[in-house]
Amino acid sequence: MPDVLADPDYAFSEAQKLSGNPRTFLGVPLLREGNPVGALVLLRRTMQPFTDKQVELVTTFADQAVIAIENVRLFDEVQARTKELAASLNDLRTAQNRLAVC
């Protein structure tokens, strides 16, 4: 949005007023398999549209952020599964020790 003051449907929230009443916004969605997982929003307090190169850079950054978010999710899943397997292995060793004693 090159100039929010030129948009008749736009109204400033209190949070926006606290940030200096920004004039120019750039919003890029964070999409994972077509589903939104967040957004990157940049603002300027002056009316100065973002260049195509800047939009491209932020879009690339958004794509990389989605990959990083997915990597963290997968890492957490692997960590949880590893803990489950370690607990199962411990249970099996305990059962094996009990059988060996009998």
- pLDDT at residue 19, as a whole number: 64
| Distance between CA atoms of residues 40 and 8, nearest Å | 23
The two structure tokens encoding residue 76: 């957490």
The H or E element that residue 92 is part of is helix 52-101
Report pTM. 0.65
- pLDDT at residue 54, as a whole number: 95
Number of neighbouring beta carbons within 10 Å of residue 23: 18
How large is the greatest C-alpha to C-alpha distance in the chain, in angstroms? 84
Number of neighbouring beta carbons within 10 Å of residue 28: 19
The two structure tokens encoding residue 93: 């060793």
Residue 84 pLDDT exceeds 90: yes
Would you kindly state where each structural domain of the chain is located, as residue ranges?
4-101
pLDDT digits over 33-75, tens only? 899 999 998 988 888 899 999 999 999 999 999 999 999 999 9
